[in-house]
Structure 1
Amino acid sequence: MKPARVLVGVSFLAIAGLVLPACGGAGSGADFGSAEGEPIKIAVIGTLESPDLSQPNSRIGAEAAAKAINANGGVNGRPIEVVSCNDKGDPNTAAKCAREMVGQDVVASIGSVTRNSDQAIPIFAAADIASIGNYPATSADRTDPSSFPLGGGITNEYTGAGYSVVKYGGAEKVSLISHSAATAQAAMGYLEKGVKAAGGEVVNEVRIDLGSADSSAQVAKAVGNGAQGVVTALPSADMGQVTRSLASTGANLEHATDSFSAQPTLLESLGAAAEGMILSGDTPSATDTSVDYIKQFNDEMNAFDESSTRDSAGLMSWTATYLLADVLEGLDTIDAASVLKAMGKIENKDLFWLTGFSTTAPVSPAAPRIFNSTIFVNEWKDGKIILLDGPVALPAAALQ
């Protein structure tokens, strides 16, 4: 089914004014539009650029939303100002970034995508600064009381990939492929729970070495034992390498993975090898402009930086900025502590792709900061990400 076309419920913005015409050029990050009051600073820190992970859209999405909000008068006349810091994939730099943001009196951290949240979030928490829309990849993301992810991250996406290869791909016998590092054990568990929740059977568990140039031997094992589908939980580069190896076997297995690892630029580079891949993600496709709010997202991204790519990281950060704006509009005093308190009281919020979002009811005791049990199931087809179904509520037992 198509995702609900929910428009943002922010009373201080006229909905008709939110969709901006596309224009060229990159923004400077300090466009206050018609808002003239004291700027409200929000932070975007994360791995914006590094050799093995780059997520610049976590900043660009927030900047695009802030520009549109400011053009419509800001928050009660006050503009939103985005300040950012690239942790370069380094935990020490992440901690330094967080301390710098605290020193700039930001009221919240938005859309962080990093493996170093365990270093950054405690620093924010000590200053009563909420992390909103962060990708929940670490313990701090999933357990710290100041953390408010909008999706389930790897828990939902990996579980959803296992679930989707059976339910939407029709594969009853499934191979799981992850890496050989110790952290892969949890990933394998999520994949397996998803497969079994959909009524499938795991017939192979395969591990590859991270950065391996040749996974043909492991892939040969994955296509054995009557496997009809494979599910991968791998970093992007390794997932791409395995996808090519799978295609070279000619086995034509259904392949599902998480949307975070399978960004459009990677899928395009894989060509025919990626055709038909099922993608389990926290968000719907960021490029399907037939959906009202996705068109709005693309228009506002164009207005800020027409050259930017469109992906789930940008959509998540953009959504989180609008959610924060909605929270800010209802506060008598705008400061970090007030935002943190208000974030903990959100109930049944509908916002763009979020439906019934509440921060008072976690999905699982094991992950008390995960509030969303849904995924969007997409498919890579003819060079585009198309929606198969969503939002899909994953079985509660699979997320425990």
Structure 2
Amino acid sequence: MTGTRRTRLFLPVRNRPDRSTVRGTRPRARSVALSAGALAACASLAVGCGVVPGTTGGSGDDPVTVMTWAPEQTAATNEPGMPAMAKAYARWVNSQGGINGRRLNVLTCNEKNDTVAAAKCAQRAVDEGAVAVVGSYSQHGRSYLSPLEAAGIPYIGGYGLTDDEFTSPLSFPVNGGQPALLAGLGEQLAKSCGPVVLVRPDSVVGDTMPVLLDAGLRTGPHATSTDELAAEDATQYEEQTRKALRQATADPARKGCVVPSLGDRTDTFMDSFRRAREDYPGVRTAGVLGSIDQSLIDRSGGTYDGTYVTGWYPEENDKRWNTMNKVIRKHAFGDNRIDPADPGVQTTWIAYTVLKAVVEELGDGEVSARTVRRTLDQGMKVTTGGLTPPLSWPFDDLVAPGGFARLVNANVTFQVVRKGRLVAARKGFVSVLKTLENATS
């Protein structure tokens, strides 16, 4: 199937439906029982089993319980740094007396890149009285949002992989997710590359990537990219590499670009690409943060020099990350799962910044799922030290591109790899709101 673009109507990223349901319908929230291990854990927690969902914040000195989940030790994309960052954040604020005197209690869960595991994580958040799920990663939006919506628990700062994160009234995204990254990358490449070849997973999430990338490419002379498919858990990419290089050199008058958007598998793809590239010296590479980051570049031995990269936030060495980096050094205790350059870690930091601002806004009042959600719905503005524009999600006044009703931050950053370092290719943020509107029209 590689090399052939599928004919399809555009839909924003959507997780795969249950086989037992008609395509396009939303399954009802399922009740997932606590495992024996979780039951045992409840006995040792000051808050947890038996409480009304989302009420652990209470008032006064009661702790504030939240959850962060992400896949770990799976065959596909993993984000172990996100729950690890959440724990480090909690240690930091608790060392300073908590938030308004309230201790922050962070629960973590391995989402396993699995619909059932994602639902179990969400149900555990409900059962243990979490007031929010914060800074988490999952491809299975409907699986985890159904239990959260049934309990009224807000989802703050997800990774932006599925359309549910940009449509659910309980979702409060802090970035433009995958849609903004791919649309922005298309804009970045529109005037810089000849033929553009996208190598991406053969999955429902992957199916939306060409549409978003092409929307950005159309801001220049391009019409579309060429689409190369690969298994989500592939272990070698020789065939895709050869085809991508041939297609990227189809126009000898212009330098083509190959765009691997394979998450954790990008490094594996680049091993094949590096060997085959000798016969195609003019071909450049490009990608989005999450598939290409500084730690990957450090291991590559120069493979990525000249690579165009689109991100959500300022580059890693920007001084606006200083506070986060200090917290990691002092409170992560050398946890090597936390990479400050990882956009998942950065998103978790920003999501907890939002949570902290909300709890401070509530003062000595009740901190619950209901009050957290209500505070955000009423249009509270959260500043993040310049890492994003001011964030606000007024329930009655959301203006966003069609299909992404909850998208409030359509800004991206353009970066490039020079001498082994990711640096700004263009100062400041670039809004891709208009491009996303064109993609969804």
Distance 2:266 2:63 in 1: 42
> Unpaired runs of 5+ in structure 1?
1-29, 31-35
**Does 2:243 correspond to 1:224?**
no
Equivalence for 1:196? 218
Determine which structure has more spread, i.e. the larger CA radius of gyration: 2
Equivalence for 1:103? 127
Distance 2:82 2:205 in 1: 25
How big is the shift at 1:99?
0.9
Code of the aligned partner of 1:321: Y
Distance 1:200 1:139 in 2: 29
Equivalence for 2:416? 379
2:96 to 60, 72, 81: 72
Once the two structures are superposed, what CA deviation does each residue of 1:83-106 show, in whole Å capped at 9, x if it has no partner? 101122221111111111111111
User: Does the residue aligned with 2:218 lie in a helix, a strand or coil?
Assistant: helix
> Unpaired runs of 5+ in structure 2?
1-45, 47-59
Equivalence for 2:292? 262
Equivalence for 2:166? 142
How big is the shift at 1:61?
2.2
CA distance 1:157–1:119, shift in 2 (3 Å)? same
Distance 2:244 2:339 in 1: 31
1:356 to 376, 390, 401: 390
How big is the shift at 1:73?
2.5
Equivalence for 1:208? 229
CA distance 1:132–1:100, shift in 2 (3 Å)? same
Q: TM-score, normalised by structure 1?
A: 0.83
Distance 1:117 1:179 in 2: 18
Equivalence for 1:370? 407
Equivalence for 1:125? 149
How big is the shift at 1:386?
1.8
Code of the aligned partner of 1:206: D
Distance 1:326 1:189 in 2: 36
User: Does the residue aligned with 2:281 lie in a helix, a strand or coil?
Assistant: coil
How big is the shift at 1:238?
4.3
Equivalence for 1:302? 329
User: Number of aligned pairs?
Assistant: 360
Contact 1:203–1:225, Cα closer than 8 Å, also in 2: no
Distance 2:418 2:195 in 1: 23
2:434 to 389, 396, 399: 396
Equivalence for 1:26? none
Contact 1:66–1:321, Cα closer than 8 Å, also in 2: no
Distance 1:103 1:185 in 2: 35
Distance 2:431 2:288 in 1: 16
2:377 to 339, 344, 353: 344
CA distance 1:397–1:157, shift in 2 (3 Å)? closer
Once the two structures are superposed, what CA deviation does each residue of 1:31-54 show, in whole Å capped at 9, x if it has no partner? xxxxx9321111001213323222
Flag the structure with more relative contact order, 1 or 2, with Cα contacts below 8 A and sequence separation at least 6.
Answer: 1
Q: TM-score, normalised by structure 2?
A: 0.75
* Overall identity of the aligned pairs, in %: 21
How big is the shift at 1:180?
4.1
Once the two structures are superposed, what CA deviation does each residue of 1:255-305 show, in whole Å capped at 9, x if it has no partner? 2211011133333333222112121112223x31x41x3111111011122
Distance 1:182 1:81 in 2: 35
Distance 1:384 1:342 in 2: 40
Contact 2:249–2:256, Cα closer than 8 Å, also in 1: no
Distance 1:196 1:220 in 2: 22
Q: Which runs of structure 2 are paired with 1:317-328 in the superposition (5 Å)?
A: 317-328=348-359
Contact 1:219–1:242, Cα closer than 8 Å, also in 2: no
**Does 2:185 correspond to 1:186?**
no
CA distance 1:181–1:70, shift in 2 (3 Å)? closer
User: Does the residue aligned with 1:78 lie in a helix, a strand or coil?
Assistant: coil
Code of the aligned partner of 1:135: Y
Contact 2:260–2:269, Cα closer than 8 Å, also in 1: no
Contact 2:389–2:409, Cα closer than 8 Å, also in 1: no
- Output the aligned Cα RMSD: 2.4
How big is the shift at 1:383?
3.0
**Does 2:351 correspond to 1:314?**
no
How big is the shift at 1:182?
5.2
CA distance 1:67–1:269, shift in 2 (3 Å)? same
CA distance 1:283–1:348, shift in 2 (3 Å)? same
Distance 1:242 1:219 in 2: 11
Contact 2:176–2:408, Cα closer than 8 Å, also in 1: yes
Q: Which runs of structure 2 are paired with 1:150-169 in the superposition (5 Å)?
A: 150-167=174-191
CA distance 1:374–1:229, shift in 2 (3 Å)? farther
Q: Which protein has the bigger strand share?
A: 1
User: Does the residue aligned with 2:413 lie in a helix, a strand or coil?
Assistant: strand
| Ranges of 4+ aligned residues in structure 1 off by more than 6 Å | none
Q: Which runs of structure 2 are paired with 1:267-278 in the superposition (5 Å)?
A: 267-278=297-308
CA distance 1:71–1:342, shift in 2 (3 Å)? same
Distance 1:200 1:193 in 2: 12
